[in-house]
């Protein structure tokens, strides 16, 4: 799932206007198609005052467009109802895409202030649209007469009908008002959760003033900590470590100082749990609002509401899959801990392995068993080399080339922009942007999204997408480029896979293009492309030593492959544990506050979670499920999709990882189709059969688990 340290939005030329409501509308860049190459947002012309003004204009425009649809005296058809709805809201799309992107990746006090109005107003308008009786009546007419439409049109009508029904279109007027109030409350709560999380993350740090406490840490990590201290105005001889992954994880993995590891672990696992930025009260309000929402919409609980609309169909189906993975993962954890304890004992220690020891001793076991030191491995994975790897993969598989556009608009100096073209025809395919390094104004994690999607215009021409990848990867230092960990390498390939899903889309309809697919299918393109990152054929092309230029040696590749399932019990259990915790939240129906820590502990006890680990994300910083609706009762989808991606990649392994025919089948049946076809049908068209969990278990080295047929759980 990822520079200069510059605070807030200083990289943008935001103009002199500081008051967000005083902007000349004639100069607002959101109000017309961008006059830039490929319609890239003109970031240098965007001022804070433009956002809310454009939001109001966008709402007014779309309101008028919907009124035009509903006022049509002709009987509702796909052409006079669905198509104009598909192409409505141009201004709203432009301003929302930019605001959402920069609020996540380049926030500032001004953006936070704007967000407090932007999100609730945006949510309220979405409710107004999906609860518009006249609009829904026309959609229902098309839905009732959908036979005879093209397959993608029929699916689109069905999805529109379902979307409107799931958002309250069938409710009474009184119940609609209640639902609107709940949705507004949730929008505000998500905003508060995310603000608390960003502030809590930035508020925590560990300052080290004794160099002996740095024993064991790689030179690159020490250099980053020294730069962080300097940026904070601390003198030489100080080092600052933060909760951002490039700082936190190396400390946990390499620091010999056990107390230092404990401080970092406890700082992370108590993040946003108390004090000024406490998310526990926010979570309780979210749970209560979700209970109300599920009740209003006629679902047993919120988890049932969220899983009803995806491949899994039920919480039980998702849990069933997870438990097939959880049990062998826990068994593997016990073996891993035993190996680590043996190493700790051999060093003369008299303590039991604790959670803050896991990364550290797992690394020692890896070095002992496989003679593999990741700090040395990283020297072959400079960020530019890895970027060359993802571009080479895309060129060999899908025939696209990436050419840097140095003069293109960008929202931050470290963003790099590429023109994506078809190698054979020279045709423009997409714009791709990368933003890879952490800063205080960026939330943690890694993600993909778009400034513009892909669809077919009414005149038959195609809109080409503008896609971006954001990460929080290890920064360059004064002495070395950004050297990525193996996890960061996989994350870059993962997010690029999402990017390919967006860039290569050829779906006709805007609502079906790119990543507009079932939530538990959307991770297939991202996760399958992770497999290429460690394939010898591609490694020999892109993995070069950052100093010498030496190609990664065969001996090291063999060690990487031998160690590929090392620590997989921990990796799998913390992921599956978080997914199972998420589903337990989805089952709750609560109108009163609960003890969040006690709830987590009970779920852990019921699962038999080993004491040496915890959930990948504890509740106060589980942004996937409490920062929005996005992955609520849906964090399981990473493992659900892994069943698909591991099974699918076995076909590439069988035919050749760059086999043209296999790549063509994946591109045409998965990447290009978007949500225009049922996802299981798309998968079978590519693979030739329905998947089961076998390949996942083989890939993770957990193959002794009983195989489960995933297709029987999809309900499709």
Q: In this model, does residue 318 exceed pLDDT 70?
A: yes
- Domains along the chain with CATH numbers: 25-130+132-170 (1.20.1050.40), 204-271 (no CATH), 276-372+568-635 (1.10.1370.10), 378-557 (1.10.1370.40)
- Residue 12: per-residue pLDDT: 25
- pLDDT value at 8 more than 60: no
Residue pair 407/169 in contact (Cβ under 8 Å)? The answer is: no
Output the pLDDT for position 24.
56
**pLDDT for position 13:** 22
Question: If you search the block for the tokens 């309250």, which residue do you land on?
Answer: 168
**358-372, 408-422, 586-600, 695-709: segment of lowest average pLDDT:** 695-709
Instruction: Give percent above pLDDT 70 in the chain.
Output: 95
Alpha helices in 204-314 (DSSP H): 219-231, 245-254, 258-269, 280-296, 302-307
Give the Cα separation of 355 and 372 in Å (integer).
Answer: 22
Q: Quote the CA–CA distance of 311 and 681 in Å, as a whole number.
A: 11
pLDDT at 689 over 90: yes
The whole-number pLDDT of residue 144 equals 98
**What confidence category does residue 14 fall into, taking pLDDT thresholds of 50, 70 and 90?**
very low
Residue 686 confidence (pLDDT): 97
Given a cut of 50, whether residue 472 has pLDDT beyond it is yes
Question: What is the token pair recorded at 535?
Answer: 């394939």
Strands 428-435 and 466-470, how do they pair?
parallel
CA torsion, ordered 676, 678, 683, 688, to nearest 10 deg: -110
User: What is the structure's pLDDT at 18?
Assistant: 30
Average pLDDT over every residue of 321-329 = 93
Identify whether 495 is a catalytic site residue. Answer: yes
Least confident of 19-23, 48-52, 167-171: 19-23
Angle subtended at Cα 435 by Cα 429 and Cα 439, rounded to the nearest 5 degrees: 165
pLDDT in tens, 30-75: 999 999 999 999 999 999 999 999 999 999 999 999 999 999 999 9
Beta bridge partners of 242: 205
b/e burial code for range 103-139 (CB count within 10 A of at least 16 → b) = bbbbbbebbbebbeebbbbbbbbebbbbbbeebbebb
> Which of these is catalytic: 86, 336, 379, 495?
495
- pLDDT at position 214: 97
Tokens of 101: 């992107």
- The yes-or-no verdict on residue 175 having pLDDT over 60 is yes
- What is the average pLDDT across 196-222? 95
Q: How confident is the model at residue 708 (pLDDT cuts 50, 70, 90)?
A: very low
Relative to beta strand 447-452, strand 466-470 is: antiparallel
Alpha helices in 504-636 (DSSP H): 523-530, 536-542, 554-562, 568-587, 596-607, 623-626
Model pLDDT, residue 715: 37
Q: How confident is the prediction for the chain on average, in pLDDT?
A: 92
The yes-or-no verdict on residue 237 having pLDDT over 50 is: yes
Q: What is the pLDDT of residues 583-641, one digit of tens each?
A: 999 999 999 999 999 999 999 999 999 999 999 999 999 999 999 998 999 999 999 99
| Predicted pLDDT of residue 478 | 84
């Amino acid at each position: 799932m990822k520079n200069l340290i510059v605070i807030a939005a200083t990289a943008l030329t935001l103009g002199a206007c500081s008051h967000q409501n005083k902007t000349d509308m004639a100069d607002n860049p959101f109000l017309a198609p961008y006059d830039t190459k490929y319609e890239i947002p003109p970031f240098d012309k965007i001022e804070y005052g433009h956002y809310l003004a454009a939001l109001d204009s966008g709402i007014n425009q779309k309101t008028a467009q919907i009124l035009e649809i509903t006022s049509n005296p002709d009987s509702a058809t796909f052409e006079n109802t669905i198509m104009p709805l598909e192409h409505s809201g141009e201004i709203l799309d432009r301003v929302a895409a930019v605001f959402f992107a920069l609020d996540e990746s380049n926030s500032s006090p001004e953006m936070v202030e704007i967000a407090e109005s932007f999100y609730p107003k945006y949510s309220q308008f979405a409710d107004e649209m999906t609860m518009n009786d006249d609009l829904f009546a026309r959609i229902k007419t098309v839905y009732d007469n959908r036979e005879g439409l093209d397959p993608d049109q029929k699916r689109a009508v069905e999805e529109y009908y379902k979307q409107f029904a799931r958002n309250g279109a069938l409710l009474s007027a009184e119940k609609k008002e209640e639902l609107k109030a709940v949705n507004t409350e949730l929008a505000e709560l998500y905003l508060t959760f995310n603000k608390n999380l960003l502030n809590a993350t930035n508020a925590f740090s560990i300052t080290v003033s004794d160099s002996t406490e740095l024993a064991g840490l790689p030179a690159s990590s020490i250099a980053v900590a020294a730069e962080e201290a300097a940026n904070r105005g601390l003198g030489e001889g100080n080092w600052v470590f933060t909760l951002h992954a490039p700082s936190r994880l190396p400390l946990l993995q390499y620091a010999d100082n056990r107390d230092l590891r404990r401080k970092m672990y406890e700082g992370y696992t108590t993040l946003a749990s108390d004090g000024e930025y406490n998310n526990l009260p926010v979570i309780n309000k979210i749970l209560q609002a979700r209970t109300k929402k599920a009740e209003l919409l006629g679902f047993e609980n919120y988890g049932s509401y969220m899983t009803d609309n995806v491949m899994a169909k039920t919480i039980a189906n998702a849990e069933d899959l997870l438990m097939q993975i959880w049990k062998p993962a826990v068994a593997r954890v016990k073996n891993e801990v035993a190996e680590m304890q043996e190493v700790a004992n051999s060093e003369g220690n008299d303590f039991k392995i604790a959670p803050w020891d896991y990364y550290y001793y797992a690394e020692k076991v890896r070095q002992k068993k496989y003679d593999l030191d990741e700090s040395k491995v990283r020297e072959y994975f400079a960020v530019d080399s890895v970027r060359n790897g993802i571009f080479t993969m895309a060129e060999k598989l899908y025939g696209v080339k990436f050419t840097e556009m140095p003069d293109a608009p960008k929202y931050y100096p470290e963003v790099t922009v590429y023109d994506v073209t078809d190698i054979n025809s020279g045709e423009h395919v997409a714009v791709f942007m990368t933003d890879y390094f952490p800063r205080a104004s960026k939330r943690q994690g890694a993600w993909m999204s778009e400034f513009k999607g892909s669809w077919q215009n009414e005149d038959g021409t195609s809109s080409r997408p503008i896609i971006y990848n954001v990460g929080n990867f290890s920064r360059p230092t004064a002495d070395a480029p950004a050297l990525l960990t193996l996890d960061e390498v996989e994350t870059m390939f993962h997010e690029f896979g999402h990017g390919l899903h967006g860039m290569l889309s050829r779906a006709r309809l805007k609502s079906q293009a790119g990543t507009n697919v079932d939530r538990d299918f959307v991770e297939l393109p991202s996760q399958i492309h992770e497999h290429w990152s460690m394939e010898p054929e591609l490694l020999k092309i892109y993995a070069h030593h950052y100093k010498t230029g030496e190609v990664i040696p065969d001996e090291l590749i063999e060690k990487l492959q031998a160690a590929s399932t090392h620590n997989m019990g921990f990796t799998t259990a913390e992921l599956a544990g978080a997914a199972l915790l998420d589903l337990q939240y989805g089952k709750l129906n609560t109108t009163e506050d609960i003890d969040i820590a006690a709830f987590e502990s009970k779920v852990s006890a019921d699962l038999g979670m080993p004491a040496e680990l915890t959930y990948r994300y504890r509740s106060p910083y589980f942004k996937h499920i409490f920062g929005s609706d996005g992955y609520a009762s849906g964090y399981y989808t990473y493992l659900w999709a892994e069943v698909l991606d591991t099974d699918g990649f076995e076909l590439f392994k069988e035919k050749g990882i760059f086999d043209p025919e296999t790549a063509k089948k994946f591109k045409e049946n998965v990447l290009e189709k978007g949500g225009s076809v049922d996802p299981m049908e798309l998968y079978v068209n590519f693979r030739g059969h329905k998947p089961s969990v076998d390949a996942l278990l083989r890939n993770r080295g957990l193959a002794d688990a009983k195989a489960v047929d995933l297709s029987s759980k999809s309900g499709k």
